[in-house]
Amino acid sequence: MIRSLHVRNLAVIQELELEFGPGLNVLTGETGAGKSVLLEAVRLISGGRVGSGSVRSGADEASAEAILEGAPLATAQARGLAEPADSELLVARTLPADGSRRARVHVQGSLATVSLLGELVGTAVEVASQSETQHLLRPDVQAEMLDRFGGAGPSREAVEARYREWRELGGEIAERSARSAERVRREDQLRHEIEQIEALDPAPGEIDELEAEHRRLAHSDRLAHATRQAYDAIDGDAGIRDRLGQARTALAQSVSLDPDLGPLLEGLERAALEVEEAAVSLARYGADLEADPGRLAAVESRLSDLGRLRSRYGDSVHEILQHREVARQELEQLAGGEERIAELEARRASIADALEADGLRLSELRRKAAAGLEQAVMREFGALDLDGARFEVRLEALSPPREPSTGPEPFCGPQGRERARFQLGANAGEGSRKLREAASGGELSRLYLSLRNALRDAGPGGILIFDEVDAGIGGQTARRVGERLRELATRYQVLCVTHLPQIAALAETHHRVAKRRRAGRTETWVECLGAEARVQEIARMAAGGRVTEAARAHARELLESR
């Protein structure tokens, strides 16, 4: 429910705040006082479409804030937008006068989107007005109401899911069939790529090793010369080894004279060992470094082959091998294309049979619900000045029925095997026709009220807004319409814009909407009425503007007979 609504700079509203209560809330006032603007504010906080032209003249932006309880709060908590301990949900939306700027939305103090606002609040708010009830003319809305009444929602969702799966499989089969020749070419290409890589069977690190070996083989003469020079410098005449030996001998003879020379002698001995090891390694390296033209050619050929793989499949052996694995996986997916198509067709045929069975169950639920909904709505007609009117629910088959075994094409669409259509015979003795042809605006509003009452216990509750649902009625009929609204208010929070005192008297919360001039400008203001103020307002409504003691007495009588 909406607990409070704060509006700024929206049309003729400069700033006002309303406190709503549970049950039936009414808004009354003279024609043109601005009651419809308040509905515009509700659309604003519900994520509805509101144009920048609704911003009050001279203001930079309009805004609406609301504190909500119930379903919007529970949805926000389930999505982590509100804390589990929160007892209320604060939503706000700002509408800039400059259409080039985007609206700002906040949920529980955090930035959000208009679509999120629609999910949280818009799904809990339903507006019935001369224009809004036009959606009742849509076949999908009529089918949804019928299914809700009959508890067929889960069955319809199952049909929708099964039909979606059936369609997706059909698309996959068509795509696979159309790409059959392309698939064969792709399989050949993948096999060729895999065979090329497997024929060479590159090993991780192989390219680096081959390139190093190639450098050694290609420059063996230069490396041999450098090795001999280094060896001669170590082990030749007056080489490093002899000179280190001389230095060790000289120090060894002097250590006894000065022990501090001991560490220096040890250092020379270590150096001699390292020079010895270097000489051995150089000798071994020189012995192994023999020119091998055959090996050089083999290395160059191997590098050339690997280079072709690198140019096609990756810069490194790792990338080449990774390409091979990806090619293998794709080949496995493509392999057995005809067999896969056959599997998909068999699966699709099985789903078509299951869809047919689901559709039959949904049809049976709808047939039972149609009869019950007709009776429930007709019971409401007598109280809503629709005596003699007849309401019918027709189920129109989508196509001639046939057995599901005759092929994979099911006789069932995403909404079932039939289309639900509401029909109304507005006057006694007349045949029923489609709502678009038979119902006036006022009749459509009252039919909507009848349907809402019939569906009162079939939904999770929420917020219902009725804008002049009482058009064209009066007297006892008005009283009965008010009673129906009050019955709805046991399940929903109901906000009702009305001009009838009989309806206003039944409300738990009564707001009066009026216009006034302040600082040379007209603005709308709203007052929540206490007991005496309600008497005065209902008397005004009953007397047509001129309030008399008789009108006040009548107003008190209406209030006392609630």
Q: How far apart are CA 40 and CA 98, in angstroms?
A: 18
| Residues 227, 233: Cα–Cα separation, whole Å | 10
Cα–Cα separations (whole angstroms), residue 288 to 227, 281, 292, 335: 11, 11, 11, 52
Q: Are 309 and 200 in contact (CB under 8 A)?
A: yes
Q: Are 513 and 18 in contact (CB under 8 A)?
A: no
Q: How many residues can be counted in the chain?
A: 562
User: Both tokens of residue 477?
Assistant: 């009929």
What is the pLDDT at residue 406? 39
For residue 87, count CB atoms less than 10 angstroms from its CB and return exposed for 0-12, middle for 13-18, buried for 19 or more.
exposed
DSSP 455: T
DSSP state of 128: E
Cβ atoms of 24 and 508 within 8 Å: the answer is yes
> Which of 98, 104, 101 shows the shortest CA–CA distance to 44?
104
- What is the structure's pLDDT at 159? 92
Cβ–Cβ < 8 Å for 501, 538: yes
Residues lower than pLDDT 70 in the chain? 100, 129-134, 289-291, 336-337, 399-410, 428-430, 439-442, 459-461, 471-473, 545
Name the amino acid, one letter, at 396: E
Nearest to 498 by CA among 516, 481, 518, 515: 481
450 touches 380 (CB < 8 A)? yes
- Taking CB atoms within 8 Å and a gap of at least 24, the contacts of 143-147 are 143/415, 143/416, 143/419, 143/420, 145/373, 145/451, 145/455, 146/366, 146/369, 146/370, 146/373, 146/393, 146/420, 147/365, 147/366, 147/369
pLDDT at 401: 46
Which among 189, 211, 192 has a CA at the least distance from the CA of 306?
211
Judge whether 314 and 322 are in contact, CB under 8 Å. yes
Distance CA 552, CA 534 (A): 10
Q: Are 354 and 162 in contact (CB under 8 A)?
A: yes
Dig out the tokens for 472 from the structure: 């064209």
Question: What is the C-alpha separation between 132 and 451, in angstroms, rounded?
Answer: 15
Q: Where are the alpha helices (DSSP H) in 28-152?
A: 35-45, 71-78, 114-120, 139-149
The amino acid occupying position 206 is E
Residues 6+ apart with CB under 8 A from 137: 435, 436, 444
Q: Say which DSSP state 365 is in.
A: H
**Is residue 25 classed as helix, strand or coil in its secondary structure?**
strand
What is the signed CA dihedral for 191, 194, 197, 199, rounded to 10 degrees? -60
Question: What's the pLDDT at 291?
Answer: 63
Please report, for residues 66, 205, 528, the alpha-carbon distance to residue 7 in angstroms, rounded to integers and kept in the order given.
9, 72, 15
Backbone angles phi, psi at 266, to 5 degrees: -60, -40
Long-range contact set of residues 174-178: C-beta below 8 Å, sequence gap at least 24? 176/337, 176/340, 176/341, 176/344, 177/341
